[in-house]
Amino acid sequence: MENFILNAEKRERTGKGAARQLRSKGIIPCVVYKAGYSIPIQIPAKELYQFMSIATKEKLFVTLKLNGEEKKAILKDYQVDPVTGKLLHVDFMEVSATEKIRVRVPVILIGEPIGVRQDKGVLQHGISEIEIEAVAEKIPGHIEVDVSHLEVGDSIHVSDIKFEEGIRVISNPDEVIATVTVEKEEAEVTPVEEYFEPEVIKKGKKTEEEEQ
């Protein structure tokens, strides 16, 4: 698993107003969680965006340099603006070399199924992450699942994945990761002569969550 180094500082002020001021200066408010307590920190946006561009696809370790100390952590959660897509807030979880932690690891499907290539089937994606428990050094960046052998009607479940010793699977073993189905023909649509005026649904404006 690749290791990033991020320069962090402890945040003295918290709340929405303080968070907005930080972001206007190119700094992202963050929180580090560990064993029931949390530390509000801040990280330069330029550094954090480089990390997030990979961390949203891969489970990565990060070294947080904070007040002369180094903390090992992984990405726990993050928030983005629903309109602009800009990063608003990031949560990290501190880890140790000996402590087992629960994380969700991304699933990547590789190969083209036989049922798609020869029988014009359709590859359907199931769950995109598998939750596991292990010490930090055993956590993979992602889980590759070969689907090239799947024929129409075949599926791959969580229980079919073989993990390294020391990794405990938390996800339901019956969860479907991928399946190949028959391509459905588009049904003929019968025109409806009656005219129905569309209903207008008003959507409430999303508000930014209270930050630490």
Residue range(s) in the chain whose domain bears CATH number 2.40.240.10: 3-95
| DSSP calls for 30-90 | EEEEETTEEEEEEEEHHHHHHHHHHHTTS--EEEEEETTEEEEEEEEEEEE-TTT--EEEE
**pLDDT for 203:** 41
Residues above pLDDT 90, as percent of the chain: 46
Q: What is the pTM of this model?
A: 0.69
Kindly report, residue by residue over 141-174, the tens digit of the pLDDT: 899 999 999 999 999 999 999 999 999 999 999 9
In sequence order, the β-bridge partners of residue 100 are 135
**pLDDT for 185:** 55
Superfamily of domain 102-181: Ribosomal protein L25, C-terminal domain (2.170.120.20)
Topology of the domain covering 3-95:
Ribosomal Protein L25; Chain P (2.40.240)
What average pLDDT does the segment 64-77 reach?
A: 88
Q: How confident is the model at residue 42 (pLDDT cuts 50, 70, 90)?
A: very high
**pLDDT for 3:** 65
Residue range(s) in the chain whose domain bears CATH number 2.170.120.20: 102-181
Mean pLDDT of the chain: 84
**pLDDT for 207:** 43
The alpha carbon of residue 59 and the mean position of all alpha carbons in its chain are separated, in whole angstroms, by: 8
Q: How confident is the model at residue 175 (pLDDT cuts 50, 70, 90)?
A: very high
Q: How confident is the model at residue 57 (pLDDT cuts 50, 70, 90)?
A: confident
